[in-house]
Amino acid sequence: MKRNPIPSRQTPVTSLQIGHGLACLTLLLSLCARSIGQTQSEAQSPVPGSAIHVTHVLGFEGVRQNATGDLKIQGDAVQFQRDGSPTAQVKIGSIQDIFVEDEDKQVGGTAMTLGKAAAPYGGGRVVSLFAHKKYDFLTVEYLDNNGGFHGAIFQLDKGQGQTFKKDLLVNGAHISSPDDRATTQSTPEVKNENK
Amino acid sequence: MKTNRETSLAVTKTTFSLPAFHRPNRQRGALAALVLLLGALQLQLFVSTALAESSTVGKSGGAQPWSVLQVDRVDPGDVGLAPSFGAAIYENLLAELAKTEQFKQLFRSGDRNANDVPSLLILKTTVQKYTPGSETRRAVTTVNGATKLNVRIQLVTRDGHVVLENVVDGNVRFIGGNLRATHNLAHNVAVTLKRSALPEQANLVPEREPKRLADF
């Protein structure tokens, strides 16, 4: 008697689940490896006066938003140099205020966000727990040649903001109120609302 | 054999046959319809132009429209606003207002070129509420960790007359960094200004004089 083997319906689903699980695990492992690498790089303190790698968030004249490049002090000016684009610079004497804040951000950008949204069984949320990193945000308020006010924000690796701020102060940058606003640390967990 | 009369009737029938009667009439009808259509179009164009002209005259009333805006620095109030948020709101306001093209010229706060401009409005922004959020909390919980901003905007003339006042929100609840709230806020401010009808310059002068008299 000829018997046809009954295909098991559980097998494809299980393999799919295993596949998803493996994908999530791989993603998590890669993120962990990346965060470890970042922690090691944080331990290296930047050399004073040298260029630091930053992401321009907004506000620096002549540079597009979210551009990455090197920020350095050259003579009496702060320069932002990006590969293949002209250097944008601001006189240090025109700086009115400098603030450094640290903030927690998710890493991975849009691709990671989409990946987390597509991960099954809430796997994206688990990944989000580990896929974040602390950054320094350097806010530089300065005046242009016409006296117009600008507020430029740069995202730096943690620990580099204070060093760069000290370099700027040594080179003649002004701070309006050094006591209470010199170092502002944002506390995102605390609700600060006045009604 | 046909008689002369029958022949003449046949000729007459041939002359007044229905298709032959309608052919020139159809052409004339089409021509008349075309003329009517063109006339209607011309009338419509004339009416719309006249309406537009009358509305322009009615709105401006001979006064110069507000075409120049100076964006003032953000007043952080007493809500403990992070300095990066103040700078981001200011820069995003400039970017979003430039996108709407509502104003011909935009000046930054303190720009000396704005000193000689006659019809200048100043945008003042005061932060009323600020709830710092957390991107990680948003990503993990979805319902928690929103960054919320609530500001009062005022359009003020050079002599301090408030032309427009409004309250605008800007939040980020799901995807994006905390500073995205400033972008959303600036976008909402630009939309609010675009939608609101600014009073004419000429109308502001008579309102100001009684206040001065009352001061004395």
Average pLDDT value for residue range B135-150:
92
* Statement to judge: residues B107 and B187 lie in one domain: yes
**Bigger pLDDT: B5 vs B150:** B150
Residues in chain B closer than 8 A to A90 (CB atoms): none
> Is residue B22 pLDDT above 90, yes or no?
no
pTM: 0.70
A-B contacts at Cβ under 8 angstroms: 108
Look at A40-44, B44-48, B176-180, B187-191 and tell me which has the smallest mean pLDDT. Answer: A40-44
Residues in chain B closer than 8 A to A57 (CB atoms): 88, 179
| Contact (CB<8Å) A57/B179 | yes
Q: How many structural domains does chain B have?
A: 2
Amino acid, single-letter form, for residue A105: K
Look at A77-91, A134-148, B142-156 and tell me which has the smallest mean pLDDT. Answer: A77-91
The pLDDT of residue B20 is 59
* Statement to judge: residues B55 and B135 lie in one domain: no
Look at A87-91, A99-103, A190-194, B204-208 and tell me which has the smallest mean pLDDT. Answer: A190-194
- DSSP 8-state secondary structure symbol assigned to residue A183: B
| Contact (CB<8Å) B136/A129 | yes
The pLDDT of residue A117 is 85
Segments forming the whole domain that contains residue B30: 15-60
Chain A residues whose C-beta is within 8 A of a chain B C-beta are: 57-59, 97, 99, 101, 103-106, 113, 116, 124-125, 128-129, 132, 137, 139, 141, 143-144, 146-153, 181, 184, 186-195
Spatial separation of the C-alpha atoms in residues A133 and A103, rounded to whole Å? 8
Task: Read off φ and ψ for residue A5, nearest 5 degrees.
Answer: -70, 130
* Statement to judge: residues B27 and B105 lie in one domain: no
* Statement to judge: residues B73 and B20 lie in one domain: no
Catalogue all structural domains in chain A, each as residue range(s) with its CATH number.
10-181 (2.30.29.30)
Closest residue on chain A to B179 (Cα): A57
Closest residue on chain A to B147 (Cα): A188
> Is residue A6 pLDDT above 90, yes or no?
no
**Bigger pLDDT: B15 vs A98:** A98
Task: For residue range B30-53, list pLDDT tens digits in order.
Answer: 777 777 777 666 656 554 444 444
Q: Which of A162, A72, A149, A79 is nearest to B87 (CA)?
A: A149
* Statement to judge: residues B53 and B72 lie in one domain: no
Longest dimension (CA), chain B: 119
Which of B91, B136, B145 is nearest residue A59 as measured by Cβ atoms?
A: B91
* Statement to judge: residues B141 and B159 lie in one domain: yes
| Contact (CB<8Å) A191/B179 | no
Q: Does residue B106 fall inside a structural domain? A: yes
> Is residue B210 pLDDT above 70, yes or no?
no
Structure-token match 């691709």, residue found: A111
Spatial separation of the C-alpha atoms in residues A158 and A176, rounded to whole Å? 24
Task: For residue range A25-72, list pLDDT tens digits in order.
Answer: 455 445 444 543 444 444 444 555 678 999 999 999 999 999 999 999
Closest residue on chain A to B144 (Cα): A189
Look at A179-183, B121-125, B141-145 and tell me which has the smallest mean pLDDT. Answer: A179-183
Q: How many other CB atoms are found less than 10 A from the CB of residue B65? A: 12
The pLDDT of residue A42 is 45
Which of these three, B6, B26, B60, is where a domain ends? B60
Average pLDDT value for residue range B109-120:
91
The pLDDT of residue B206 is 47
Q: Does residue B2 fall inside a structural domain? A: no
The answer to whether B76 contacts chain A (CB < 8 Å) is no
The pLDDT of residue A29 is 44
Q: Does residue B5 fall inside a structural domain? A: no
> Is residue B168 pLDDT above 60, yes or no?
yes
| Contact (CB<8Å) B175/A113 | yes
Query: Could you give the residue ranges of the DSSP H alpha helices within chain B?
Result: 4-15, 18-60, 83-100, 135-141, 180-195, 201-215
| Contact (CB<8Å) A97/B83 | yes
| Contact (CB<8Å) B87/A116 | no
Average pLDDT value for residue range B179-185:
96
3-class state of residue A99 by DSSP = strand
* Statement to judge: residues B37 and B113 lie in one domain: no
Residues in chain A closer than 8 A to B146 (CB atoms): none
Q: How far is CA B15 from the centre of its chain?
A: 65
* Statement to judge: residues B90 and B173 lie in one domain: yes
Q: How far is CA A126 from the centre of its chain?
A: 20
> Is residue B117 pLDDT above 50, yes or no?
yes
pLDDT band with cut points at 50, 70 and 90 for residue B23: low
Q: Does residue B145 fall inside a structural domain? A: yes
B191: CATH = 3.30.160.150
> Is residue B152 pLDDT above 90, yes or no?
yes
Which of B73, B77, B83 is nearest residue A184 as measured by Cβ atoms?
A: B83
CB-based burial, B5-41: b 16+ in 10 Å, e otherwise? eeeeeeeeeeeeeeeeeeeeeeeeeeeeeeeeeeeee
Residues in chain A closer than 8 A to B112 (CB atoms): 146-147
Look at A84-88, A185-189, B106-110 and tell me which has the smallest mean pLDDT. Answer: A185-189
3-class state of residue A29 by DSSP = helix
* Statement to judge: residues B114 and B197 lie in one domain: yes
Q: Does residue B125 fall inside a structural domain? A: yes
Look at A180-189, B15-24, B74-83, B179-188 and tell me which has the smallest mean pLDDT. Answer: A180-189
* Statement to judge: residues B50 and B88 lie in one domain: no
Spatial separation of the C-alpha atoms in residues A40 and A32, rounded to whole Å? 12
B152-155: which pairs have CB atoms within 8 A and are 24 or more residues apart? Answer: B152/B125, B152/B126, B152/B128, B153/B123, B153/B124, B153/B125, B153/B126, B153/B189, B153/B192, B153/B193, B154/B123, B154/B124, B154/B126, B155/B69, B155/B121, B155/B122, B155/B123, B155/B124, B155/B193, B155/B198
pLDDT band with cut points at 50, 70 and 90 for residue B120: very high
Q: Does residue B214 fall inside a structural domain? A: no
Which of B80, B107, B140 is nearest residue A128 as measured by Cβ atoms?
A: B140
* Statement to judge: residues B49 and B92 lie in one domain: no
* Statement to judge: residues B133 and B204 lie in one domain: yes
- The bridge status of strand A95-106 relative to strand A132-143 is antiparallel
Best of B73, B81, B84 to disrupt the A interface by mutation (most A CBs within 10 Å)?
A: B84
Which of A106, A144, A190 is nearest residue B135 as measured by Cβ atoms?
A: A106
Q: Does residue B213 fall inside a structural domain? A: no
pLDDT band with cut points at 50, 70 and 90 for residue A22: low
Q: Does residue B176 fall inside a structural domain? A: yes
